[in-house]
């Protein structure tokens, strides 16, 4: 978890880069920009808002040979070792991004490199480097009083309500490649920012493993339990899976299977499915790991717990108390109507 509430911008460098394949130029500022209180407040909201709203999916610098060969990792380390060098190093960062700006769809824009302090990540106060890019320009109106009339002037500028691209590189977990958060609102070239410029991969921590394993379970329920049994059992399996994650601090696969899978015949199916599909989720050898509670909460919000019937009736199951659905919802077959039915037991209707 991160906290940006008390974060301060210690240094701001602004450069402009074009699309190299179109022979557009790069403009590097000689000195850092001098901030005032009003501009600082606006920029903090512009830079940080997407990270407060976005689910925390962490990345880390990577390289096929060695992380030291990742140019941005090297520049980042130099800045953290000597924060006063951030402006000169920001020119190298902008130049590195310019070298990767060769896809025909990549737009020119301003690059902001900021040095930040007083951030909190994993309950630890750290410094960070922010790299942001504004690409899309928007029309807006300016007004000028001219004698007895008001003149309307059409101008273009950056919309401070929407950051195009950005990342926060935390001075945390250096040996693993630093912890990094990234946003990219413009998906015209998904490899440009994450792969070509940042050179990152997913940060494999408890948050990553919890999300990946729960997504794997969700797909197992859809691909195996639903065809083998029915929609109710698919939903109930995920009910039990989510609650197992929610009530435990650590995950252990054998305990999970014994508690969550009601039908013993499905345990070999689960193991076979894992052998077949695990590389997709990067959980090949994963049988135990610490559980990240925030990842469980985020996953629970995304999961569908509704049985939708072709008679325009929906039955919503409770992820908090799955045993209620097990005890009080029965599925059957009506010979006379030649239709399936659900029988729901209750004492009284709840007021909503």
Q: What is the tens place of the pLDDT at every residue in 215-266? A: 999 999 999 988 888 888 888 888 889 889 999 999 999 999 999 988 888 8
What is the pLDDT at residue 330? Answer: 80
Q: Domain total for the chain?
A: 2
Is residue 232 located within the same domain as residue 291?
A: yes
How far is residue 134's CA from residue 157's CA, in Å, rounded to a whole number? 10
State yes or no: pLDDT of 344 exceeds 90. no
Is residue 229 located within the same domain as residue 86?
A: no
What is the pLDDT at residue 252? Answer: 95
Domain boundary among 153, 181, 203: 203
Is residue 237 located within the same domain as residue 144?
A: no
Is residue 24 located within the same domain as residue 153?
A: yes
Is residue 151 located within the same domain as residue 250?
A: no
pLDDT band at 294 (very low <50, low <70, confident <90, very high): confident
Does residue 213 belong to any structural domain of this protein?
Answer: yes
What is the pLDDT at residue 154? Answer: 92
DSSP H or E segment with residue 250: strand 250-252
Is residue 127 located within the same domain as residue 245?
A: no
What is the pLDDT at residue 321? Answer: 60
Is residue 228 located within the same domain as residue 184?
A: no
Tokens encoding 332: 């059957």
pLDDT band at 320 (very low <50, low <70, confident <90, very high): low
**20 near 102, Cβ under 8 Å?**
yes
Does residue 317 belong to any structural domain of this protein?
Answer: yes
How far is residue 219's CA from residue 283's CA, in Å, rounded to a whole number? 14
User: What average pLDDT does the segment 49-73 reach?
Assistant: 90
Domain boundary among 162, 178, 203: 203
Structural domain span for residue 289: 207-344
Is residue 162 located within the same domain as residue 22?
A: yes
Is residue 234 located within the same domain as residue 302?
A: yes
pLDDT band at 86 (very low <50, low <70, confident <90, very high): very high
What is the pLDDT at residue 231? Answer: 81
Is residue 75 located within the same domain as residue 44?
A: yes
Is residue 32 located within the same domain as residue 73?
A: yes
What is the pLDDT at residue 327? Answer: 76
What is the pLDDT at residue 270? Answer: 93
What is the pLDDT at residue 115? Answer: 98
Share of the chain above pLDDT 70, in %: 96
Long-range contacts of 344-350 (CB under 8 A, 24+ apart): 344/315
Does residue 93 belong to any structural domain of this protein?
Answer: yes
How far is residue 201's CA from residue 204's CA, in Å, rounded to a whole number? 9
What is residue 83's three-state secondary structure? Answer: helix
What is the pLDDT at residue 322? Answer: 56
> In terms of pLDDT, which residue wins out, 323 or 316?
316
Is residue 237 located within the same domain as residue 257?
A: yes
Full-model pTM: 0.79
How far is residue 264's CA from residue 229's CA, in Å, rounded to a whole number? 13
How far is residue 328's CA from residue 174's CA, in Å, rounded to a whole number? 52
How far is residue 136's CA from residue 157's CA, in Å, rounded to a whole number? 8
Domain boundary among 157, 179, 203: 203
What is residue 70's three-state secondary structure? Answer: coil
């Amino acid at each position: 978890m991160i906290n940006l509430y008390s974060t301060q911008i210690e240094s701001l460098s602004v450069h402009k880069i074009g699309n190299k394949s179109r022979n557009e130029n790069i403009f590097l500022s000689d000195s850092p920009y001098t901030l005032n209180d009003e501009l600082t407040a606006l920029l903090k909201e512009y830079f940080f808002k997407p990270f407060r709203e976005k689910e925390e999916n962490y990345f880390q610098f990577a390289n096929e040979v060695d992380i030291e060969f990742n140019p941005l990792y090297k520049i980042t380390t130099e800045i953290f070792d000597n924060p006063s060098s951030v402006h000169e190093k920001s020119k190298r960062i902008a130049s590195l991004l310019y070298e990767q700006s060769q896809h025909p769809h990549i737009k020119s824009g301003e690059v902001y490199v900021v040095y930040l302090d007083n951030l909190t990540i994993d309950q630890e106060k750290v410094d960070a480097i922010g790299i942001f890019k504004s690409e899309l320009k928007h029309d807006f109106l300016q007004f000028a009083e001219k004698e007895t009339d008001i003149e309307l002037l059409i101008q273009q500028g950056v919309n401070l309500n929407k950051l195009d691209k950005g990342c926060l590189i935390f001075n945390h977990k250096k040996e693993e490649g630093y912890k990094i958060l990234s946003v990219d609102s413009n998906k015209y070239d998904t490899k440009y920012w994450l792969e070509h410029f940042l050179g990152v991969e997913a940060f494999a921590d408890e948050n990553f493993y919890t999300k990946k394993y729960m997504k794997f379970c969700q797909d197992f329920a859809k691909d195996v339990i639903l065809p083998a049994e029915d929609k109710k059992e698919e939903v109930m399996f995920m009910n039990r899976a989510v609650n197992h994650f929610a009530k435990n601090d650590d995950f252990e696969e054998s305990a999970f299977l014994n508690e969550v899978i009601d039908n013993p015949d499905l345990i070999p199916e689960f193991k076979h499915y894992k052998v077949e599909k695990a590389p997709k989720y990067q959980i090949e050898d994963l049988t135990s790991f610490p559980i990240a509670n925030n990842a469980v909460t985020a996953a629970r919000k995304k999961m569908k717990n509704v049985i939708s019937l072709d008679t325009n009736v929906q039955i919503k199951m409770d992820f908090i108390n799955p045993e209620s659905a097990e005890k009080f919802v029965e599925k059957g077959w009506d010979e006379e109507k030649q239709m399936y039915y659900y029988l729901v037991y209750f004492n009284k209707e709840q007021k909503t």
